[in-house]
Structure 1
Amino acid sequence: MNAELHHREAVELARMLRSGEVSAREVVQAHLDRIEAVNPAINAVVTLCPERALDEAAAADHRHAAGRPTGPLHGLPIAVKDTHETAGIRTTHGSPIHADHVPERDELVVERLRAAGAIVIGKTNVPEFAAGSHTFNPVFGTTRNPYDTSRSAGGSSGGAAAALAAGLHPIADGTDMGGSLRNPASFNNVVGLRPTPGRVPTWPSTLPWETLATSGPMGRTVADTALVLSAIAGPDPRCPFALAEAGSTFAPPLHVDLRGLRVAFSPDFGGTLPVEAEVARVVAEAAKTFAALGCHVEEAAPDFSGADEVFRTLRAWQFHLNLGPLIEANPGRVKETVVANAAVGRALSGEEVGRAKQGLAELFHRFGRFFGDYDLLLLPVSQLPPFDADLEYPTEVAGTPMADYLDWMRSAYQVTVTGCPAMSVPGGFTSDGLPVGVQLVARHGADLDLLRYGHAFEQATGFGRRRPPLG
């Protein structure tokens, strides 16, 4: 059985662990074996702590045998994104500046994962300071796509998504500012949820009122993703806009009848974005699936005008505030794209930041009106399939040149600034077998509805059951 455990869905593994069919130590060891066999080809897990993990698994088994309460993630191994601080485990942020940094405490999302019974076995790779949607850095190198190791795994949660797809651990965490949960999920045929801001509170934070970035869950299925959300969601007094619903609200099952659901879809954001033909095809076919499930489906796109300026302004402003002092203290030691973004932020005027904040409010209200007419919005996650891993970023999409390393991510980051929850769900494959996710977006706060809609789509298509050819 050990050899099969890494293929099991997290919900099924959790059931087996609760029933005593398998032990936490067996589950952890099976995934450590899988990491040893497969990780060298994809470079997804970059720091490993096997002895510590096995000791924690043995302690979890002892608690379970003694009849003591266990959490919803009891015994499930996880490698945490290398931007999340983990007590006693190296956390590098993909930067040589932090290459030997070992935190003394867990940040909130890790604290909640552990409290729910998850066992941290290591860390997953990220771009330097999580900047960009392609995972490479000078500390650990490039993470490669398990469906085709010549291709990108996306980012910034690229290590997490590739590890999930390859069976290195059954659940994952991540963060999302401009698509960092959604883009890698799309590239690796897994599920990544950017929750409504405040659903998964962040602590510590130097900008606790800002909503551009959020932590969130990943899984191989929507149910697995919901299971993780049930452990990490819920209010915390240190996050001033944390939402009140308890995490347990989001626990599976997720079954729902979609008949009568009002679905809008747009393969190209109403003709405003260049999108590769195979990606547009997958979105159009997904719309047909929703129609077959009894939904009222029509091609329609909300107005995203102003989203580019809002995102780029607020992102640069936050880069300057968060990373500016570090860049100044370490000249020449931070990658140029990060330095350039921080420099743009430093040059912003108060009027420019204020105008971006006004634009953020306008987008929020505009999308509130849109979701008065529709229940679900179906879009591309990424404007192209997984690209050459040796590129820093794609310089062209559907014949259109990309201005910089953010330009090809517009289909994700324009959704970010609406404040709506958004999820990448496996949507199909290109003609040469590369995964393509579809982006499902629901009204602000409707995270549970979104999970249910994604689960129904996933069950109808089965694309997520196709695993990479890694043995």
Structure 2
Amino acid sequence: MNSNASPPFTGPDLCAREAHEIVALLRKRDIAPRDLVGASRARTDAVEPQINAMPTTCWDWAEAAIAALEGGDRAAPGWLGGLPIGIKDLTPVAGVRTTFGTKGLRDFFPATSDPLVDRLETRGALVVGKTNTPEMGAGANTFNDVFGPTLNPWNTRLNAGGSSGGAAAGLATGEVWLSHGSDHGGSLRTPAAYCGIVGLRPTPGRAGGASPNAGYLIESAQGPMARSVTDCALFLDTMAGFEPRFPISYPAPDAPFQEAVRRASGRLRIGYAPDLGGFSPVDAEMATHLNDAMAQLERSGANVEEACPDVTGLERTYHILRGISWVTAARTMDPAVRRHFKPTLEENTRFGEGLTIQDVADAQVGRTAIFNAMLAFFDRFDVLALPVVGCMPHPQSEEWVREIDGQTLTGYMDWLRFAFLATTAGLPAISVPVGLGPRGMPVGLQLVGKPRGEADLLAAARFVEMVMGGPLGPIDPVAG
């Protein structure tokens, strides 16, 4: 394993602490929310010119919300008690500029917040800004015509990933302690891997819904992003619970997710699929690092076996489901907004508009077969381990990766194929850092868990984190 040390961190001491540690101090009243807002603001002002992670800030909004915190339940497992967080710029926050990364909405100030934002604020989160995203969340490279690109804090010449790239970069530099993200084609997982933080795509319905106008779609999921697995569990406890405004929502479990993390052990049966049965290419340097990580996990007590579920038809099934999402979104979209779309986004929408009912039926049959194959896989294994993405970060100037391991890729989603499985089967998946790899950059490992199995998945991720010497902690941006 590469033993390069992480870059230094010169921000406020409070910003270097993990979220669960800060919340413990808030519970004891050893610190005040205003202390945290001040620290977050100082750090954001210091690093934003270098990474452009949270281009819209709302410090006055956060300060005004502090007065409402006293009524919260300090005993609740997801209580945050005045912790500043970021919200992805695809999710409305009442009265705060929300652009979706598109010029047609660059001056949009929503009158109401997304229900998940309401829940987070009720449980003590202070929204201090909106994190950058590619236009309408399309693509794994965070840039748009409103705010420009977000840059990778570990090397500012490189791609931070997307579409939750602003959230990941802001966490990696200590702007906030927790940040909200969303995921369809790896939008939580890829930036987590590239920025050295933890990103969890929960089971659909676990942490809110995807769209106020298409509440029954389950392919897009909102979820927690943090610098450690324990913090990710804390944030999932904040997000989880029945919300009647989301038709796919269901209640939180009886035991907090943080308890599951505390029970983490190495008695894991890991099925490792290094290229998902040939489904996606992997660069040699990525494969070597992940193989070394799996060997280290095995030396630490895990049972690791190279194995792959049957993913027949996965690529076409995923793309049909993605097309359905885009054509559904277009049904209620103002044409004045759509006319600004970048070419890849417009291509997505047109693909969806060209689908037939037979295509839709095929996708439903296909996804069920893949789900059943995963159930059979979990008869033998606790988790599926696989790459988050098959390559290390490329220059930010490349919109998408066109070659991996000598194979030419022709579609802008081709390099993200490892993300398709969890989305298609409706399973929880997490990206957790497994140390520093080539050129001192962080590498993420993806773990896919059982249906509604976030507790066991977080426990497995915590074991990985402990074995691999994480969490990595916040850093100062490194100029590329």
Q: Distance in 1 between matches of 2:117 and 2:387?
A: 30
Q: Find the residue that maps to 1:16 and give its secondary structure.
A: helix
Q: Find the residue that maps to 1:45 and give its secondary structure.
A: coil
Q: Find the residue that maps to 1:310 and give its secondary structure.
A: helix
Contact 2:11 2:43 in 1 (8 A): no
Among candidates 125, 128, 134, match of residue 141 of structure 2: 134
Among candidates 45, 48, 55, match of residue 46 of structure 1: 55
* Residue type at the aligned position of 2:46: A
* Residue type at the aligned position of 2:141: H
Q: Find the residue that maps to 1:404 and give its secondary structure.
A: coil
State yes or no: 1:172 paired with 2:179.
Answer: yes
Match of 2:29 in 1: 20
* Residue type at the aligned position of 2:209: T
Alignment identity in percent? 38
Q: Distance in 1 between matches of 2:175 and 2:266?
A: 37
Structure 2 stretches of 5 or more lacking a match? 1-9
Cα deviation, 1:326-385, whole Å, max 9, x if unaligned, reads 374456411111111111111111011111111111111111111011111110001111
Pairwise mapping of residues 290-439 of structure 1 onto structure 2 (< 5 A)? Answer: 290-323=297-330, 326=333, 328-330=335-337, 332-439=339-446
Q: Distance in 2 between matches of 1:134 and 1:392?
A: 6
Q: Find the residue that maps to 1:426 and give its secondary structure.
A: strand
Contact 1:192 1:225 in 2 (8 A): yes
Contact 2:286 2:391 in 1 (8 A): yes
Contact 1:175 1:181 in 2 (8 A): yes
Match of 2:228 in 1: 221
State yes or no: 1:280 paired with 2:287.
Answer: yes
Q: Distance in 1 between matches of 2:477 and 2:352?
A: 43
Pairwise mapping of residues 161-240 of structure 1 onto structure 2 (< 5 A)? Answer: 161-202=168-209, 205-240=212-247
Q: Find the residue that maps to 1:311 and give its secondary structure.
A: helix
* Residue type at the aligned position of 1:56: A
State yes or no: 1:6 paired with 2:15.
Answer: yes
Cα deviation, 1:138-196, whole Å, max 9, x if unaligned, reads 00000000000000110110000000000000001111111011000000000000111
Q: 1:93 to 1:330 in 2, by over 3 A?
A: closer
Query: Mean Cα displacement is larger for which, 378-387 or 206-215?
Result: 206-215
Query: Mean Cα displacement is larger for which, 207-216 or 255-264?
Result: 255-264
Match of 1:86 in 2: 93
Q: Distance in 1 between matches of 2:223 and 2:393?
A: 22
Query: Mean Cα displacement is larger for which, 142-151 or 379-388?
Result: 379-388
Q: Find the residue that maps to 1:145 and give its secondary structure.
A: coil
Contact 2:197 2:227 in 1 (8 A): yes
Q: Find the residue that maps to 2:348 and give its secondary structure.
A: helix
Pairwise CA distance, 1:248 = 6.0
Q: Distance in 2 between matches of 1:283 and 1:443?
A: 22
Q: Find the residue that maps to 1:173 and give its secondary structure.
A: strand
Q: Distance in 1 between matches of 2:208 and 2:59?
A: 29
Q: Distance in 2 between matches of 1:180 and 1:452?
A: 22
Q: 1:79 to 1:399 in 2, by over 3 A?
A: same
Q: Distance in 2 between matches of 1:165 and 1:247?
A: 31
Pairwise CA distance, 1:58 = 5.5
Q: 1:50 to 1:238 in 2, by over 3 A?
A: closer
Structure 1 stretches of 5 or more lacking a match? none
Aligned residues: 468
Q: Distance in 1 between matches of 2:438 and 2:266?
A: 31
Contact 1:2 1:27 in 2 (8 A): no
Q: Distance in 1 between matches of 2:190 and 2:299?
A: 27
Contact 1:2 1:26 in 2 (8 A): no
Pairwise CA distance, 1:290 = 2.5
**Please, what is the CA RMSD of the aligned residues?**
2.1
Cα deviation, 1:197-228, whole Å, max 9, x if unaligned, reads 12112175322222111101010000100101
Q: Distance in 1 between matches of 2:84 and 2:138?
A: 26
Q: Distance in 1 between matches of 2:82 and 2:112?
A: 21
Q: Distance in 1 between matches of 2:52 and 2:329?
A: 28
Match of 2:4 in 1: none
Q: Distance in 2 between matches of 1:421 and 1:69?
A: 27
Contact 2:84 2:177 in 1 (8 A): yes
Cα deviation, 1:256-287, whole Å, max 9, x if unaligned, reads 35344211112211233210122212321222
Pairwise CA distance, 1:81 = 0.3
* Residue type at the aligned position of 1:117: G
Contact 2:435 2:443 in 1 (8 A): yes
Q: Distance in 2 between matches of 1:434 and 1:203?
A: 31
* Residue type at the aligned position of 1:110: V
